[in-house]
Amino acid sequence: MLDNERLTRRGLLAEKEQRLRQLESSMQGDIHAVRLALEPFAPLHEIRPDQAAAQAVELAGKHAEYMGLREEIAALKRALGMAGN
């Protein structure tokens, strides 16, 4: 692999890893929001299943992107000879 091509792939890898970290943080926030909306000890009239459902749908979309990024990162690492990392 040419040095220029390798540098380009390393840059792409760094971008994807950064996006992965952003998604992880965002998904943790979504999980927390769903839990708050469905507080198990709150009276039924105080829970917010509509908010929990909307947040869960958002979480599902982020999770799909997250899983795809994990696969892309693994492929880039293999191409760069970093498969064991």
Q: How far is CA 56 from the centre of its chain?
A: 14
Residue 9: how many CB atoms within 10 A of its CB?
A: 15
**What pTM was computed for the model?**
0.85
Pick from 66, 59, 72: which is nearest to 30 by CA?
Answer: 59
Give the domain ranges of the chain.
3-79
The pair of structure tokens assigned to 47 is 């829970």
pLDDT tens, 26-70?
Answer: 999 999 999 999 999 999 999 999 999 999 999 999 999 999 999
